[in-house]
Amino acid sequence: MRTSAFGRWLFFQFNRYNRPVNLDDTIVAIATPPGRGGIGVVRLAGARARETAEPMLRLRHELEPGRAVFGELIEPERRATTDTEEVKAPTLTAKTAVRMGHPPSPTCDVSQRIDEVVVTYFAKPHSYTTDDIVEISAHGSPVVLRHIVEMCVAAGARLAEPGEFTMRAFLNGRIDLTQAEAVRDLIDSQTLYQAKIAAQQLEGALSRRLQPVKQKLVELIAVLEAGIDFAEDDVSVLPDAAIVERIAAVREPLEQLAASFAYGKIVQEGLTLAIVGRPNVGKSSLFNRLVERERAIVTATPGTTRDLVSETVAIGGIPIRLVDTAGIRQALDEAEAIGIRKSMEALADADLVLIVLDASQPATAEDEELTRHTAGRPSIVVGNKCDLEGSAPWSAVSDQSIVPVVLASALTGEGIAELRREILRHIGGETGAQAEAGFLTNVRHQGLVKDSLAALDTATGAVAAKVPHEMLLLDLYNALRPLDAVTGATTTDDILNLIFSKFCIGK
């Protein structure tokens, strides 16, 4: 695939800012995480990828596009005897001796071999970057992987920058900018649901959702441009009402897209959930039940928890940071006072609050004070110990029409599934938002969509003010430009540097 004109422009922009990016270089990096493992992968990309890799490989078969080939990693400066060359005893290579039915002898030249490898070749343009790519899968020894990279560099390759493989895919038109960002999101995903959402974005879900919106806006711009350019040829000019109607048709789906960020941000970043209540209502037991292990200390003595205890769990695929807090009451000593102060700080910082009450006892003044303190905050009331008798009196503390109430038992697990569902309902996980592909999960995208909506508002006001169409077009172009920047049709080099610098090396 040929590099687009826009990609070449970006290439020069990167060079201006001294980022070592050259689309003609052959680059190399370890593509697997640091450390030891069963397999480690070194990735080469560029016009000389195959030429660089072949001298260090002794393969069973010739490299073919899309085919994995077994072979050996050798020192490139020491060439082994091939099967087609004349074999003279006693200088048989180990490989040739075995193929001829003889065991390798001490005189066989086996010192060249470093490791057994599997090599995969992707020919341009049918590869991730549209360049020739060679991936060498060796045993996951850091020493071996570093040595492969060193041999590649000695042969003329260059160490890849963070995200440079993905950046090449973007510059060469293989993917757009939303898909490039989705690659990073997929790598950083903590839950399977996050990975599925990132995979949707990688397939171009957001770009597909934006495309018809941009098309409507471009059509409106074209009509207005034609009315100006061919005014003397009696080309009809859209009336103001029709212009406003077309702007509204562009604005409506953009507003829906902007509204999806509330849920998309939670999917991407997760949320913090604080568990609060007076001492001995079972906050730590409930925390352990949600975490599904004994993470917090639980005793029958009120006020056991003095400091914040946190743990991140996945509920419905959403990463949620649970915070167990000290019991809120009149402090009996300095240590408890500090713990209660931290509890109030955690309550203030939380995205969602679980107010835990004892369902087996009547509501207390401390319960009522706590529910008043959390009024207006996103919260769920949990009536714990519902397995005990006398669970009715406490329910009057909360207005169930405003704050959802869940009866549960941290001891038996009763009601815990309903509590998880209620948490998901609060964050939109059961409202169907997650079923809609192409929602916003990125702060940059949200800002650009808001910029486009602001420009459309200005354009609507300009129509009402009878502003000439030449000036109105400036507002419409200002609305189109941010949408192009979402996918990378138009963007600046500093934004690209920021995006790709967050990638890991080898991707």
Residue 349 counted as domain residue: yes
CB proximity list for 302: less than 8 A, separation 6 or greater? 279, 280, 327
18 lies in the same domain as 146: yes
Question: Taking the model in full, what pTM does it have?
Answer: 0.72
The pLDDT tens digits for 337-366 are 677 777 777 778 888 888 888 888 777 777
**Structure confidence by residue, pLDDT tens digits, 252-276:** 999 999 988 988 888 888 889 888 8
Give 61's Cβ-side CA count (13 Å radius). 11
Mean pLDDT of the chain: 79
Domain identity same for 23 and 147 = yes
Average pLDDT, integer, range 230-251: 78
Sheet holding 57-59, edge to edge: 57-59, 67-74, 113-122, 133-140, 37-45, 27-30, 158-159
pLDDT tens-digit profile of 381-401?
888 888 776 555 445 444 554
Read off the CATH number of the domain in which 378 is found: 3.40.50.300
Question: Cβ distance 373 to 403 under 8 Å?
Answer: no
Distance CA 203, CA 210 (A): 14
In this prediction, residue 301 has a pLDDT band, given cuts at 50, 70 and 90, of low
CATH number at residue 250: 1.20.120.430
Domain that residue 122 falls in: 1-73+115-176+489-507
| Three-state helix/strand/coil letters over 370-398 | HHHHCCCCCEEEEEECCCCCCCCHHHHHC
Q: What is the bridge-based pairing of β-strands 113-122 and 352-358?
A: unpaired
Looking at the structure, do residues 216 and 82 belong to the same domain, yes or no? no
Q: Are 121 and 64 within 8 A, CB to CB?
A: yes
| Mean per-residue pLDDT, 114-139 | 94
Collapsing DSSP to helix, strand or coil, 45 comes out as: strand
Count of domains observed in the chain: 4
Q: From CA 312, how far away is CA 322, in angstroms rounded?
A: 6
What pLDDT was estimated at residue 3?
46
| 236, part of any domain | yes
Q: What is the mean pLDDT of residues 407-421?
A: 88
φ, ψ for residue 416 (rounded to 5)? -65, -40
What pLDDT shows up at residue 297?
A: 55
- Are 307 and 450 part of one and the same domain? no
82 and 125 in a single domain? The answer is no
pLDDT above 70: residue 298: no
Beta pairing, strands 113-122 & 133-140: antiparallel
Helix (H, G, I), strand (E, B) or coil at 122: strand
Phi-psi region of 161 (alpha: psi -120 to 50; beta: other; left: phi over 0): beta
Structure confidence at residue 98 as a pLDDT band (50, 70, 90):
very low
Which of the given ranges, 5-19, 105-119, 295-309, has the highest pLDDT on average?
105-119
The answer to whether residues 190 and 144 touch, using CB atoms and an 8 Å cutoff, is no
Amino acid at 410: A
pLDDT at 99: 36
Same domain, yes or no, for 414 and 359? yes
pLDDT of 86 over the 50 cut? no
Alpha carbon 75 to its chain's center: 39
Q: Flag the least confident range among 29-43, 135-149, 368-382.
A: 368-382
The tens digit of pLDDT for each residue in 321-337 reads 988 887 666 655 666 66
Collect all residues with Cβ–Cβ distance below 8 Å to 351 and sequence separation of at least 6: 266, 271, 272, 273, 378
Looking at the fold, whether 364 and 429 belong to one and the same domain comes out as yes
Share of the chain above pLDDT 70, in %: 76
List phi, psi (to 5°) of 71.
-170, -160
Domain co-membership, 123 together with 164: yes
**Higher pLDDT among residues 202 and 236, named by residue:** 202
Mean pLDDT for 153-158 is 93
Q: Residue 16's pLDDT is what?
A: 41
Distance of CA 35 to the CA centre of its chain: 23
Clarify whether residues 422 and 291 are in a common domain.
yes
* Pair 101, 135 in one domain: no
Pair 5, 149 in one domain:
yes
In one letter, which amino acid is 259?
Answer: A
Same domain, 221 and 94: no
Residue 95 has pLDDT above 50, yes or no: no
